[in-house]
Amino acid sequence: MSEEVSKNLSETLFVKHKQARETSALIQYMPSSQSLLEEKREQEGYRWYRNLRRMQWAWQGLDPIEIEAVLAKIASSKHSRTQDQWLDTVMGYHSGNWTYEWIKLGMLHQKRSDKLSGEEAADELFNASLCFSIAGYPHLKNDNLATQAQVLANSAYTDAAKKTKFIVKRIEVPYQNKKITAHLHLTKTDKPQPVVMVSAGLDSLQTDLWTLFRDHLAKKDIAMLTVDMPSVGSNTYWNLTEDTSCLHQAVLNELYNIPWVDHYRVGLIGFRFGGNAMVRLSFMEQDKIKACVSMGAPIHSVLASPEKLKKMPQMHLDVLASRLGKSAVDIHSMASQLMAWSLKVQGILSSRKTRVPILAMSLDGDPVSPFSDNQLVALFSDYGKAKKINTKTITQGYEQSLDLAIQWLEDELTR
């Protein structure tokens, strides 16, 4: 997409939303929960509403200096904010607003792409897509600016796919009178390749996962199939239920009809809540899956402890409320409702093992995915393994855990 077309698209998309409700004010809480959140805000003194994933964004391809420049523009804005202490709650679509500043960076990448060709041009467009996706982060429902940002992210991803030497195919799987949209990434199409189905958390899009394919799976000639979690991205039609793996299961069963993949060699990777879904799927469909990796997944501990859940930052609570399709939220009842999402409470991690070898890992000290959760998963998986990643920096943690994950999948898929 040329810079001009993209600029026009963004102007038409956003013109109606100059006064759109700001993200942190979208989820309505009951009075008692509201006062609990205000108390938390005072006590914790966080400066940002969003969880800033600098390391993850850098690993996904963005320049750390550009990330800091965007955050600095947001932080120094003189415009009014929904919450004065949260720097990223600037109201209205103009300078200093979270969506506005990330869209601007995305457009810069698009502009650079126009001057390049081949892989370099593609990489700039994939980076543009990532910026547009971050512009909509954490992708709450009814966040008009985020919805428009997602349109730009998808559009840039499609344009990038046309420029790269790799093959990206859009797959549509019928499910409950609608369609699940997935993206299949391949190095070649002359013979079926082993495939890894990948899913991220509840606050990111499938278009964020390009570098996992380019830098890791493609080197091993393993295809990557990305699927959004229920209630996120292209799967917003479906609210999240305790059957977290229902959409992925439908896609898995469709693989028989896709000629470019070897449906006898299927692996899974799930990040965060995607890990919960992938571990669940490894029990539901153990004959169709060769190996699974879950990274930083909430499996039992945080879901089964209302007290731990209530300690989560507001952004996480907002995301959960949004995914469950709640309008007025009572934190206490939502926290107890989430017990049903624990794979132990569901009885999955309690009686029979799965034949699928699962590698369950997280960074040391992760509150969402404690080592005990990963040990539980390993216990109920044949040849399962729990791994704690101890590193000085989280970037090393990412690289180390991804190298382990890809090695684990390659060993199992090529047996």
Radius of gyration of the chain measured on its C-alpha atoms: 21
Please tell me the CATH code under which domain 166-304+342-414 is placed.
3.40.50.1820
Q: In this predicted structure, what is the pLDDT of residue 327?
A: 79
Question: Model pTM?
Answer: 0.93
Rounded CA-CA distance 9/11 in Å is 5
- How much is the pLDDT for 8? 58
CATH 3.40.50.1820 location in the chain: 166-304+342-414
Q: What is the pLDDT of residue 16?
A: 53
Q: Using one digit for the tens of pLDDT, what is the confidence trace for 159-201?
A: 999 999 999 999 999 999 999 999 999 999 999 999 999 999 9
The helix (H) or strand (E) run that includes residue 185 is strand 178-186
What pLDDT, in 10s, does the model give residues 243-288?
999 999 999 999 999 999 999 999 999 999 999 999 999 999 999 9
Positions of the chain with pLDDT under 50: none
Pair 18, 94: CB distance under 8 Å: yes
Local structure of residue 354 (DSSP, 8 states): B
Q: Would you tell me how many other CB atoms lie within 10 Å of the CB of residue 108?
A: 16
Taking every pair of Cα atoms in the chain, the longest distance, rounded to a whole number of angstroms, is: 60
